[in-house]
């Protein structure tokens, strides 16, 4: 695949013709052209978390956390292939016009497979959630879809941020993330290992922070011992942007830019997103790096360019520009949004019957917000459909739609000269005049995002707590007090305390950041054209009490695998309009040291056809090294019509039976396990909400 050795040889032959200065010129993200060798300039920096980003028009998919909520490897791989097609189409045209600018290349710095360990982290919505197994499977699926499996790489993926990286954002340039070997190998590294070994990811990006004392982009332990030697990674390593300057400016592990450049190079960082590698010649002249090291980094980078066919004619050169936002692609994006939406509560109010409604109230700061659709790292859409517009399009003349913004996202007034809460009375009026209210609250990239990202409300994009902004909580309570049935539609990328809504609202939908046409997907769910089927890839806590400090990277009492309190909504939870139940399960095949296959008989005993996700969780019953609760070990999305029964097979990897000891060693340390099978996590809270228990299978080795 991608003919690695052949392309590496070509890269070696090309780099051998370069001067030292020319080699160094290739080691920054905006690599210079070398006309005498026929090498055009190339900018390595591009983004594609949920669509080609920052380079003009592209299909806009739900943010990564929403794609994770679909729990479907094959579907995500399809999404990634569409992104690669659009990336190629844009690259073909940009190159034709001599445009070699940033965000125009084929090296996409996606996916983000960091573990969403703490609900305060502002960038958590860029990830696939809190579970290492789910993150691994989805990361591999995205990479394979983006890169393809032919002789020429479709586009290059990048697993980031390596490693032990999940906030706080405002400390990331100076922070030392301390992790025990057990937490490292049990939680923080498995997704990266899978993406390297199974996904054959072309690139790995280092993180800003230090890890156990070493800056991640200059870590011998991470980049040399683990990535290159233990995992035999063949691709290239890129620094996070301007992370190498942190070595001397904030981490204080070096004294100068040339020392920082040398440390990163010596550890194995090939490409600098930033400008510290402009000091590489000084580092060489000071004897801090060798020309062989510089040569090897350049060879790795040109191997990637050869794998992408950038110096050859390829099948991808014929991908037409017209694939951008094609009907097929935009329909796939809407389908992704539908599948990602999680139904958290339904007191019989959903789906809505528009023929029985005269007036629908649509209220809230995210009800007509385009920014709330997009998340961060987004491309431009030629059309946006907000929740308000989706409902208006759906009901047409069947019902009157009344709208009020109700409040701003966090500011206490809309008009600067008005008193606080200047839209509140209007919202109450709309609710009073409506048969049902769709209340659209939540966040956007200004309240949760990357540190110093241009959209952030504050310097750090982290949350200070789990609560809705005060003005939104007040709006929620005032609308509920009208006595009208309320469906909360939450647009946000992280866990929010919805305790009040859970008690007082008749329905709750978690829509994440659903993409440019997300309002249509929400309307399709609200009015029953599609049954919701998303599952939470994170835990929704009631409070921060009991969780470790944000700066504490211990996994104790974090995520569903270790949490000791009762959550509001558990990982893996999500209702549908149907009722798919697992009626029977047994182990049908065992290949020792490889996998087990569990056969599951599922039936939709409900009245509405729906998709759902069958989930398998392992509980190690003996080992003192086992995770405290259970661990996801397999899943399968399934669609059943009303009354339909089907049997499916789900593969459980042998590693699911292994425990990680205090030294980070993974082994089978028990003879007795319980495998739980259902459409939810086998905890008490989920069983109460689902009004059923999972199946269980005893496994004795």
Residues catalogued as catalytic: 240
**Range 242-271 burial, b when 16+ CB lie within 10 A, else e:** ebbbbbbebbebbebbbbbbbbbbbbbbbb
The strand pairing partners of 645, in sequence order, are 603
Question: Tokens 């290492």 label which residue?
Answer: 132
347: Cα separation from own chain's centroid:
30
Give me the half-sphere count of Cα atoms (radius 13 Å) on the Cβ side of residue 350.
31
CA distance 93 to 76: 26
Q: Which uninterrupted H or E stretch holds 177?
A: strand 176-177
Largest CA distance in the chain: 79
Q: What single-letter DSSP state applies at residue 39?
A: B
The C-alpha angle with vertex 30 and arms to 306 and 276, in degrees rounded to 5, equals 115
CA distance 64 to 78: 14
Q: What single-letter DSSP state applies at residue 577?
A: S
Give 225's contacts (C-beta < 8 A, 6+ positions apart): none
Question: Tokens 């051998």 label which residue?
Answer: 16
Q: Which uninterrupted H or E stretch holds 647?
A: strand 645-653
Contacts made by residues 368-371, CB under 8 angstroms, sequence distance 24+ = 368/403, 368/405, 369/409, 369/444, 369/491, 370/516, 371/444, 371/445, 371/446, 371/455
SS3 of residue 590 by DSSP = strand
Question: Tokens 């983000």 label which residue?
Answer: 112
SS3 of residue 503 by DSSP = helix
Contact yes or no for 222/185 (Cβ under 8 A): no
Q: Which uninterrupted H or E stretch holds 685?
A: helix 684-690
Angle between helices 387-395 and 518-526 (to 10 degrees): 50
SS3 of residue 148 by DSSP = coil
CA distance 177 to 214: 9
Give 503's contacts (C-beta < 8 A, 6+ positions apart): none
CA distance 120 to 123: 9
Give me the half-sphere count of Cα atoms (radius 13 Å) on the Cβ side of residue 468.
26
Q: What single-letter DSSP state applies at residue 277?
A: G
In 3D space, the residue among 412, 527, 529 whose CA is nearest the CA of residue 475 turns out to be 412
**Which string of DSSP letters, residue by residue, matches 395-440?**
HTTSSEEEEE--S-SSSS-SSTTSPSSTTHHHHHHHHHT-SEEEEE
CA distance 11 to 652: 40
Q: Which uninterrupted H or E stretch holds 501?
A: helix 499-504
């Amino acid at each position: 695949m991608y003919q690695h050795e052949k392309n590496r040889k070509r890269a070696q032959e090309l780099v051998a013709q370069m001067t030292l200065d020319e080699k160094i010129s290739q080691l920054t993200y905006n690599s210079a052209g070398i006309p005498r060798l026929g090498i055009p300039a190339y900018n390595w920096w591009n983004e594609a978390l949920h669509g080609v980003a920052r380079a003009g028009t592209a299909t806009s998919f739900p943010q990564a956390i929403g794609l994770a909520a679909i729990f479907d490897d094959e579907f995500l791989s399809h999404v990634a292939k569409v992104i690669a097609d659009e990336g190629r189409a844009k690259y073909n045209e940009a190159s034709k016009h001599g445009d070699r600018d940033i965000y125009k290349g084929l090296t996409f710095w996606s996916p983000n497979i960091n573990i969403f360990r703490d609900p305060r982290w502002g960038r958590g919505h860029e990830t696939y959630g809190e579970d290492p197994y789910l993150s691994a499977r989805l990361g591999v699926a995205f990479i394979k879809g983006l890169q393809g499996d032919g002789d020429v790489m479709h586009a290059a993926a990048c697993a980031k941020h390596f490693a032990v990286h999940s906030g706080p954002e405002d400390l990331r340039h100076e922070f030392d993330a301390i992790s025990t070997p057990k937490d490292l190998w049990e939680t923080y590294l498995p997704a990266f290992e899978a993406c390297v070994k199974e996904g054959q990811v072309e690139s790995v990006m280092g993180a800003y922070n230090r890890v156990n004392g070493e800056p991640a982009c200059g870590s011998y332990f991470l980049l040399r011992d683990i990535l290159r030697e233990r995992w035999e990674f063949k691709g290239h390593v890129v620094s996070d942007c301007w992370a190498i300057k942190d070595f001397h400016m904030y981490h204080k592990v070096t004294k100068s830019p040339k020392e920082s450049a040398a440390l990163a190079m010596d550890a194995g960082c090939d490409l600098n997103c930033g400008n510290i590698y402009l000091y590489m010649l000084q580092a060489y002249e000071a004897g801090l790096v060798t020309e062989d090291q510089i040569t090897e980094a350049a060879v790795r980078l040109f191997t990637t360019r050869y794998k992408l066919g950038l110096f050859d004619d390829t099948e991808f050169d014929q991908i037409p520009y017209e694939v951008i936002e094609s009907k097929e692609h935009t329909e796939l994006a809407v389908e992704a949004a539908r599948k990602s939406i999680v139904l958290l509560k339904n007191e019989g109010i959903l789906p809505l019957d528009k023929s029985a409604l005269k007036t629908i109230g649509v209220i809230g700061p995210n009800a007509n917000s385009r920014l709330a659709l997009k998340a961060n790292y987004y491309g431009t859409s030629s059309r946006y459909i907000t929740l308000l517009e989706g409902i208006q399009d759906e009901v047409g003349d069947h019902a009157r739609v009344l709208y009020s913004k109700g409040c701003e996202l966090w500011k206490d007034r809309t008009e600067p000269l008005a008193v606080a809460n200047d839209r509140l009375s209007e919202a109450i009026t709309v609710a009073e005049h409506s048969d049902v209210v769709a209340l659209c609250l939540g966040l956007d990239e200004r309240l949760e995002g990357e540190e110093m990202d241009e959209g952030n409300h504050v310097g750090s994009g982290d949350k200070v707590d789990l609560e809705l902004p005060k003005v939104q909580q007040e709006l929620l309570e005032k609308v509920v007090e009208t006595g009208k049935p309320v469906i909360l539609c939450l647009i946000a990328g992280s866990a929010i305390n919805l305790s009040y809504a859970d008690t007082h609202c008749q329905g709750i939908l978690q829509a994440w950041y659903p993409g440019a046409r997300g309002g249509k997907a929400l309307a399709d769910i609200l009015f029953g054209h599609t049954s919701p089927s998303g599952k939470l890839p994170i835990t929704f806590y009631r409070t921060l009490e009991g969780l470790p400090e944000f700066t504490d990277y211990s996994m104790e009492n974090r995520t569903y695998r270790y949490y000791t309190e009762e959550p509001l909504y558990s990982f893996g939870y999500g209702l549908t309009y149907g009722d798919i139940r697992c009626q029977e399960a047994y182990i049908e095949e065992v290949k020792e040291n490889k996998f087990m296959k569990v056969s599951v008989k599922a039936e939709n005993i409900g009245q509405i056809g729906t998709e759902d996700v069958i989930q398998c969780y392992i509980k190690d019953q003996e080992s003192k090294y086992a995770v405290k609760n259970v661990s996801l070990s397999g899943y399968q999305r399934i669609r059943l019509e009303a009354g339909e029964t089907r049997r499916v097979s789900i593969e459980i990897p042998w590693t699911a039976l292994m425990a990680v000891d205090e030294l980070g060693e993974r082994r089978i340390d028990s003879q007795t396990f319980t495998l739980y099978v259902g459409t939810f996590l086998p905890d008490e809270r989920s069983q109460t909400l689902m009004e059923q228990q999972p199946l269980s299978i005893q496994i004795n080795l």
